[in-house]
Amino acid sequence: MRATVLKSVIILLFLLPASSLFAGQKTPERLEYSLSWGIIPVGTAVQEIVEEGGARKLLSLAKSNDWLSSFYPVEDRTESLLDRNGDPPGRVRSFRMIFKEGTRLRDREINFERTPGRAHFHDRVTGEQLDIPVEPGTYDMYSSFYHARHQRLEPGKSLLMYVLDCKTYYRIEVRVLKKERIRVPAGEFDTIKIEPVVKPEGIFEGKRGTFIWLSDDSRRIPVKVQTLVRVGKVTAVLTGGNY
């Protein structure tokens, strides 16, 4: 059960994109979240945007709390580097994840080649390297949902994206479910609820179970994320920050 919960917390990190830069907000920007399994707090997460010259960084850092760290410490960091031009949030240059979980370390990166249609995967722990063919406009897992929020989101409709998650290439459907008013520690928000689904090949239903609530305004701030696990659910809620 412990591994399932921790894996779900890690999934939430990828699905908490930094908030919108395309409606007049200033940078740097910081969003703070609490993570819980059911009613049990398990950690915190911080999302930030940093702009440097012609580049934009999307940063995520999550840590387990004292209770979880006493038997399974977690410190996970992800970083997407993008050009500031092109479709929001920009063309992806690279992605890196450094996950420290218990005694295990994962350090992996993807470099998206200037020539469309190819990305280079590198496992910095094992030394494995791999060239992967991709569709033009492919995103990494972290920046993909940042891109989704800047599309037209209408309940009952969907949009499709190509996403490279380390070595695994996905076609993801983002389903727009409904509008809903919710309360989180940071306040009360009118939201748009969406569901990312890994598109199946053939007649079978895609992988489901994660939901994201975005503020229903020009900022599209992710105020809540929830994913189902074998026992219960893991939830991230906005607690504060500078947005």
* Cβ-based neighbours of 134, under 8 Å, separated by 6 or more: 112, 117, 118, 119, 162, 164, 169
Average pLDDT (10-21) is 50
Two tokens, residue 242? 């500078």
Tell the residue number behind the tokens 């992806």, with chain if given: 92
DSSP-derived secondary structure letter, 207: B
- pLDDT, one tens digit per residue, over 19-38 is 444 444 456 779 999 999 88
* Radius of gyration, alpha carbons of the chain: 17
* Cβ-based neighbours of 18, under 8 Å, separated by 6 or more: 29, 31, 47, 48, 49, 58, 59, 60, 146
Q: Given a cut of 50, is residue 3 above it in pLDDT?
A: no
219 CB neighbour count, 10 Å cutoff? 18
Two tokens, residue 200? 């199946």
- pLDDT, one tens digit per residue, over 67-102 is 999 998 989 999 999 887 766 667 889 999 999 989
The H or E element that residue 6 is part of is: helix 2-14
Q: Which residues pair with 84 in a beta bridge?
A: none
- pLDDT, one tens digit per residue, over 124-164 is 999 999 999 998 888 998 888 778 877 888 999 998 888 99
Give the count of domains, the chain. 1
* Cβ-based neighbours of 203, under 8 Å, separated by 6 or more: none
Cα separation, 148 vs 212, in Å, equals 11
- pLDDT, one tens digit per residue, over 187-198 is 999 999 999 887
Nearest CA-CA partner of 58 in 85, 84, 86 = 84
Its domain, for residue 103, covers 2-242
* Cβ-based neighbours of 43, under 8 Å, separated by 6 or more: 9, 34, 35, 62, 63, 64, 65, 68, 74
Q: What is the pLDDT of residue 50?
A: 84
